[in-house]
Amino acid sequence: MAATAAALAVTDELALPLRAVGDLAAAAGVSREEVVVITQCASLGGKLPFDDASVGSVLAVIKKVENLGDLFITEISRVLKAGGMVLIQSSPSDQDPNNSIQRKLLLGGFVDVQASAASSQDSEHSVTIKAKKVSWSMGSSFPLKKATKGLPKIQIDDDSELIDEDSLLTEDDLKKPELPVVGDCEVGATRKACKNCTCGRAEAEEKVEKLNLTSEQINNPQSACGNCGLGDAFRCGTCPYRGLPAFKPGEKEIDFGAPVVLGQEIDFASVMTSLPDRGVSSSSSDPLCEGNIAPCSSSSEQKEDCSLKQSKTSILSCVFNSPFNIFEAHQDSSANKSPKSSSGSYDWLRVLRRIVCSGSMWRFLGTSKVLTSSDVWFLGKCYKLSSEESSSDSDSESGHATFLEDFSSRIWITYRRGFDAISDSKYTSDVNWGCMVRSSQMLVAQALIFHHLGRSWRRPSEKPYNPEYIGILHMFGDSEACAFSIHNLLQAGNSYGLAAGSWVGPYAMCRAWQTLVRTNREQHEVVDGNESFPMALYVVSGDEDGERGGAPVVCIDVAAQLCCDFNKGQSTWSPILLLVPLVLGLDKINPRYIPLLKETFTFPQSLGILGGKPGTSTYIAGVQDDRALYLDPHEVQMSATVIIWLFLQYPFYAWNPFCYGSYSGVFSTSQAVDIAADNIEADTSSYHCSTVRDLALDLIDPSLAIGFYCRDKDDFDDFCSRATELVDKANGAPLFTVVQSVQPSKQMYNQDDVLGISGDGNINVEDLDASGTDAGGVGVTYGMRGTNMPPPADVARFLSRDTIFDRVRLLDADPRALRAFAGTGLAVDVTVPNADVPRLAASRASARRWVRASVAPYAEATNVSRVLVGDEVISQANRTLLLSLVPAMRNLHAALAAVLPPSPRRREIIKVSTPHSLGILAASTPPSAGRFHDGYDTAVVKPLLGFLRATGAPFMVNAYPFYGGLTNDTLDYALFRVNDGVTDDATGLLYANMLDAQLDAVHSAMRRLGFGDVDVVVSGTGWPSAGEYWEVGAGADLARNYNKNAIRHLGSGVGTPLMPNRTFELSIFSLFDENLKPGPVSERNFGLYHADMTPVYDAGILTAPQEIVGTKVTPAPAPALAPAADGRRRWCVPKPAADEVALQVNIDFVCGQGGIDCGAIRAGGSCYDPNNVQAHAAFAMNLYFQSNGQHEFDCDFGQTGVITTVDPSYKSCKFT
């Protein structure tokens, strides 16, 4: 509570006139600034936030006398100082307010009560009552004067007899009075209620008289129209039951419920979770305002008033407080709680709890955007809202009303409930996941409105409606019979990641529309020849060479060809809808694009933007200043049960103008808002909204799509002209560009380019993606986990001078190697160790430190091309690594941009990516069925692909046919040799080699998530020259064949069956055999060269023919194998891809066991060098394996260990 106040002004209204505050200040002798003002005092619950005797003067401006209750008078007296003044102003419209207020003040203990004459300055508050609190304080004392006269003396005669009072009572007096028989006092009897009636007849008679109802109507309520029992929302203006709550026909008792007090403050969400269940007494407090209801008097008059107020009191009075309130009333939420239910809950209570607590009701009751006087650009039209500006511009119109009429005429499509389940799922609602679909429906619906009815069309105020308007709404109904329903969109976009319950991005949404339009067109051509989508559709993507990654390019020749195809070659042009997916930043939109986005709304062809806040899609249809004006799809078209209950319980919704209009469509009695194509009398209010919402443009998600509708060739030419002017204003960073044509080999005309998915999910072989990179390139992986490795300077000189390799992949950021490759011209990929990934994900500061230490010192001289974050992170069962991967990549990208901006030597920011194993795929056969593991796909892979698309980096995959489950029968298939091939039954495509199948499986998985346009790079492939006895195909000759054929095939430009006519960048694994690597023999023998730089075999990678010396394979080391039960000894070593964090846990576990000596891997021990986790873990894990009997489960170590028959001992380090 506040301590003191010189003067206090309270009112039961939303605001208090400054003149009244000034009058109080003058009367109290204080300045206006010293006056504390409280509005809507009824919400205080009868308590003022001040200490006792802490306020000098009080002004109460009360609109109605009944709001000035006895409790409030008592509260004013409590806070007033002794001798303090109180002024009360009230409206003269009440009957004799002067006398009423004076009486209350006198009964409240005030003195010198007097009324003032009516004020001519204020017609609303014209009666002023002035009073004064007594000058003494509670607890004070003063002496009483003793009486000067003595008390009169009374003489009592002791001999007089006293009368026994009981003897004065007769037998009738001693009889117990009998109450009237209930039947005798029944409402409706001819007898009248007595004065002191206690049986309830008096209240019933007053009710009958006040409501003008007969006794028969009370006893047997009936309805001629059938709506009387539904509540005031459905009753006519002359209904005799107006004011009564809903009732069932024929019921005799009508429960009026408990009162709700206007202006009360309450935590709506918490109260909704405690709504009463079946069995709660009707006399309990209103569940919506539980614990905050003002007490009601027991008198019959006040009981009736409380009952009658219930039906006309808004649920909003329990939820919202005026913004003028200057404090919060804190009440004990534990008081007056309703009793718990004795039986099950009402279904509607559950629904209402869910609506309110989830925030849907808050959005529904939200206020509209208050527009400023600045110009509004709305779908190509300019509205001059300033009264000072004229509308001389032919393209502009004036006035808020004109703009709102246009806004409310746009098609509004929102979340819906109660439709048929979507395909094989159980989803009958799209709440919380369908906003992108609904936003795209709104954009396409505007295009259809513009095409059929014109841009100037406005929704008529009277029925019947235009049949074309009704036909458009019908196409967006929620059933498979409606052409553009959510059911059909999800089915069409299945191959791009669209699925019930999942959120998708704008690019995948545009592709889904492309597929759906094509499918509908094919079906209509077969069935009736009618066209449901009367225009061509052009999804614009790719740079000038036909590739994704640069600014999208609108190709005039492509648009012309699409129009020609739409017209079946009969004419060269048709109406066309252009959808331009864009990614304008990473976490937030790049500010340089905001002015360009604003200007697109000035295009007469504008259809707005499909976008919104991150993860929350909206339909942005206009701009004002730096705010986007949008239609929000996040309102829920509620089911009939919920709507009817709201009408019955809270008739406020039926007449309150706050709810009417903008959301009148919500209060319909239909579950789904499907409209029959021929129903021109249909209620279409649920498809329109007059509530304008706004969003700061710099808060828009950088992933969005812009729409444009061009009616004819002239309109398209005008669009191209405006777009070209926009490019000139972009300062080198346009949203999109316009060209006449593209290279024939890169023709983007076929708009089903990303694998050409048809409506049934099958692949259209004629529409395969040939838009991959032509850069190609052959690299090699340079690892140094071996003994006697050559110096990095010699390796760099050899690779740059004597080989065909144009890039090299480092498995770390070794400074010696980075310095060695300076000036060689080779592109270098640097790798962040897996153990460093969580640290880099933690903060951008850590990423900047890593860049400054590991890349920046060498970046000017060494051609660092990429930074690879970890190696095969997603394939490892490490939650910390998984969740850190994408944040680390984002932080590194930002750090590289900040620390190493583009320069003359380095024309672009270093790319960031990460290599993956094929273990990320849950299915890879047939290739067209490729998909990522469930859970990983949406949680990790999809954000990763979004990052790669936004930054233009490739998706990198390690593809090894050697690990593809080889048998002697499949060797030819894996080695590119003549074989029968494998046919993908889903596509009919024939695969002649295993590497193509592996790459297409990855591409199919990416396509399912909507990222088929992201480039694929083979970050590692190769074949071992030696292996275990059980490893099929290991050998030098086979390794030579595979590597030669892989380089030749991926660089030939043939591509793969699903990605034809393209070359692939690949990196051969690896340059050297590395004898310190753990695992099977094959892991140490993937090299093209031995450590002494003699070739293992001729892989055809030299620029000049050279004599190959020493082709004999000599794995190092090659110890003798000790005999065992199966004739071989066995050792336990880490798996090649084992996580270093997990291996460190293995070391701690083993070396913490009693009886196991790990001294050999401690400093100074025989196995301390090399000092790394893999080497130490190999020794520790094998020690545990040998000590416990060489059981297979003793080498499991959480699936990080593997048994080998080759002794991993080296030098003085012996693995016993």
Q: Pick the closest to residue 314 from 372, 358, 268, 276 (CA basis).
A: 268
- Does 1213 qualify as catalytic in the annotation? no
Here the tokens at position 793 are 């300077």
- Does 632 qualify as catalytic in the annotation? yes
Beta strands in 998-1156 (DSSP E): 1016-1021, 1066-1068, 1131-1134
DSSP for 296-324 reads --SSHHHHHHHHHHHTTS-GGGGT---TT
The answer to whether 128 touches 88, Cβ cutoff 8 Å, is yes
Identify the active-site residue in 125, 487, 634, 1090.
634
Q: How far apart are CA 800 and CA 807, in angstroms?
A: 9
What is the CA angle 842-846-848, rounded to 5?
Answer: 130
199 annotated ligand-binding residue: yes
3 state SS of 779: strand
Q: Output the 3-class SS for 332-345.
A: CCCCCCCCCCCCCC
Here the tokens at position 153 are 């003396």
Cis before residue 902, ω within 30 degrees of 0? no
At residue 1150, φ and ψ (nearest 5 deg) are: -65, -50
Identify the active-site residue in 41, 289, 435, 1151.
435
289 annotated ligand-binding residue: no
506 Cβ contact list (under 8 Å, min separation 6): 436, 440, 581, 582, 610, 611, 617, 703, 704, 705
375 Cβ contact list (under 8 Å, min separation 6): 382, 383, 384, 385, 386, 396, 624
The answer to whether 330 touches 369, Cβ cutoff 8 Å, is no
Q: How far apart are CA 164 and CA 186, in angstroms?
A: 43
The answer to whether 842 touches 880, Cβ cutoff 8 Å, is no
Q: Name 1021's bridge partners.
A: 1068
239 annotated ligand-binding residue: yes
Q: Name 266's bridge partners.
A: none
For 839, half-sphere exposure in the C-beta direction (CA atoms, 13 angstrom radius) is 12
Here the tokens at position 101 are 């207020």
* Cα→Cα distances 1189→405, 1156, 1182, 1185, Å: 84, 14, 11, 7
- Does 1167 qualify as catalytic in the annotation? no
Q: How far apart are CA 588 and CA 403, in angstroms?
A: 30
Q: In angstroms, how far is CA 1052 from the centroid of its own chain?
A: 44
- Beta strands at 1066-1068 and 1016-1021: parallel, antiparallel or unpaired: parallel
Please report which helix (H) or strand (E) contains residue 799, including its range. helix 792-802
Q: How far apart are CA 1018 and CA 955, in angstroms?
A: 9
Q: How far apart are CA 1183 and CA 1132, in angstroms?
A: 8
**Would the CA dihedral through 953, 958, 961, 964 be positive or negative?**
negative
Q: How far apart are CA 497 and CA 508, in angstroms?
A: 7
* Cα→Cα distances 276→186, 271, 640, 642, Å: 32, 10, 22, 17
720 annotated ligand-binding residue: no
228 annotated ligand-binding residue: yes
N-to-C CA span, the chain: 79
Identify the active-site residue in 232, 430, 478, 632.
632
Q: How far apart are CA 733 and CA 691, in angstroms?
A: 35
Here the tokens at position 394 are 């032919």
Q: How far apart are CA 1151 and CA 1197, in angstroms?
A: 14
Here the tokens at position 925 are 């056969």
Here the tokens at position 765 are 């072989």
Residues labelled as active-site residues: 435, 632, 634
Residues contributing to the annotated binding site for [2Fe-2S] cluster: 185, 194, 197, 199
| Binding-site residue ranges for [4Fe-4S] cluster | 225, 228, 236, 239
Binding site listing: 185, 194, 197, 199, 225, 228, 236, 239
